[in-house]
Amino acid sequence: MENNNDELLKTVTAKAQVWLGEGYDEATRKEVQAMLDDEDPTLLIESFYKDLEFGTGGLRGIMGAGSNRMNIYTVGAATQGLANYLKEAFKDLPEISVVVGHDVRNNSRRFAEIVANIFSANGIKAYLFDSFRPTPELSFAIRHLGCQSGVNITASHNPKEYNGYKAYWEDGAQIIAPHDTNIIDHVNRIKGVESIRFDGDKSKIQIIGRDIDEAFLKAIKGLQLSPEAVEKNKDMKIVYTPIHGTGVHLIPESLRNYGFENIIHVPEQDITSGDFPTVASPNPENPPAMAMAIAKAKEVGADLVMASDPDADRIGCVMRDANGEYVLLNGNQIVMILLNYIMTRNAELGRLTGKEYIVKTIVTTETIKSIADKNNITMYDCYTGFKWIAAVIRDNEGTNRYLGGGEESYGFLAEDFCRDKDAVSAISLMAEAAAWAKEKGMDFLTMLQNIYMTYGYSHEEGISVVRTGKSGAEEIQAMMKSFRENPQKELAGSPVVTIKDYEALTCRNVLDGTIEKMDMPTTSNVLQYFTADGTKVSIRPSGTEPKIKFYIEVHGKLESAADYDKANADALAKIELIKKHLGIA
């Protein structure tokens, strides 16, 4: 073992010494030298033990010097590889163009300007946003401007140490096959800093901003389904926080466009900052990130509390429970409320023709399928990530009408003029759904209870087990291997009847041993257990963070609203049992 450690240290030291060369700037050389001089080699190893991989979602990592870090050189190599592939894929076009955007994170503007410079140095026109913007607006801009690709510098809701690089194709969606592997191949061919063309051509860079904002907001306004309900409830008190992120301007403006006049801010969190000073983690699915907004709601007696994450693609929402307390909706509940609202309103307005469809991911609640089936609306299941929802939209373009799609991780997309999850439209429609419900004497709690009584009760919980660094990555691999080779036989007293393995694309009937092949666009490292009583457990390593994720969904019946608290308590007790069976309690 000691020899292995010596070899690893020898390898990373050699890699680090390359970064002391003249091709790297002085700040980088100093940072690398400090790592080499440190008696504790931990940081050196973590920074250089591998190259930060350009995966199918782009790059994401901790910022700093090193081959396994987000910095101008790893960003530069990714952009040079993407530029080389674009010139190959669109060689017959007189001009190739891209959109470059970024969030509020530290170094995001710097990285975005470097990306634009590298594209321009390669003869590619770069539309660069004048400042930070929501991720979905970049997707919209690619389509709106007729570009071939786009890059957004963002690490979404990750902690402040992280940044990321998302690559998009000409349809405005994140990249899938065959372009993903082709781009990765071109990025991997960039072997040295000397291959990266950093010197930009200013004539090839065009700054964009308010013109795209206005077009994007106008398109979102076109999604409105209940203007009369909004007019009657325009003074509804809505607390909104961007959690220091990119939603700070556009989301309140979109709410006003919809007709809402009483938008209450959380001033401390309107300050855009990559340090996210008021929260430990800028993730609206975590209760502490919503604490200031809830406090403001209690102060003013708000009807609705909503948030967006730093790049404004995920939505957080708080409802009042039966005791008047503010409680977070989970991601599944947000998607259920929005899809149920959109489907119901389309039916009420006579807009259903039989060609409508919705989309959810395989780890999102199966209750959504029950809603779609009973309303005779087609539902598609796809892999986690909005690039897969976008792929379904692309496959149905021109023949069927997209009503909406979402995933349990607080993402929703109500439109097809954008191809990534969008908190701007989701928050606007969530507020409208609340106004519509109010007209019918309901709130989000009664809406949820009605859904559960009509379509079946479900409760979901996501658990993330974090394992950082090289040893953590190996432990996550070992856990997945163990769950495959030693499958669960029962969960909370109910026998496992079906096992779906998306890496092998097999669906195994445990009762009779038969195996069917699943029809999916590619393989994915996801394992699912289904039990006789409807429980679903999904297990997958995160593609963007050092964690393995468990998604637990249990089912039951809700006969009346009076039984809601008991149903929740029973479900939570069952989930705790399942967690013990899985060894993650």
d(CA 10, CA 3): 10
d(CA 45, CA 62): 14
Count of Cβ atoms closer than 10 Å to residue 217 Cβ: 19
* Inter-CA distances, 88 with 91, 114, 542, Å: 5, 22, 31
Q: Two tokens at 570?
A: 């029973």
* Inter-CA distances, 46 with 13, 162, 186, 218, 543, Å: 12, 14, 25, 46, 18
- Residue that is written with structure tokens 């890496």 in the block: 503
Count of Cβ atoms closer than 10 Å to residue 346 Cβ: 19
Q: Two tokens at 348?
A: 């009420």
Q: Two tokens at 264?
A: 């209450």
d(CA 269, CA 282): 10
Marked catalytic residue, from 156, 425, 458, 524: 156
Q: Around 39, how many Cα atoms within 13 Å sit in the side-chain half-sphere?
A: 0
d(CA 489, CA 496): 5
d(CA 542, CA 544): 6
CB 28 within 8 A of CB 47: no
The rounded radius of gyration (Å) of the Cα atoms in the chain is 24
- Residue that is written with structure tokens 């077009």 in the block: 215
Range 24-57 burial, b when 16+ CB lie within 10 A, else e:
beeebbebbeebeeeeebeebbbbbbeebebebb
According to DSSP, the β-strands at 304-308 and 238-241 are parallel
Nearest Cα residue to 459 out of 555, 345, 347, 367 = 555
Sequence-ordered alpha helix ranges (H) in 301-417 = 331-348, 367-374, 386-396
**471 given a catalytic annotation:** no
- Residue that is written with structure tokens 């140095």 in the block: 121
Count of Cβ atoms closer than 10 Å to residue 271 Cβ: 15
- Provide the residue type at 307 as one letter: A
Q: Which residues are catalytic?
A: 156
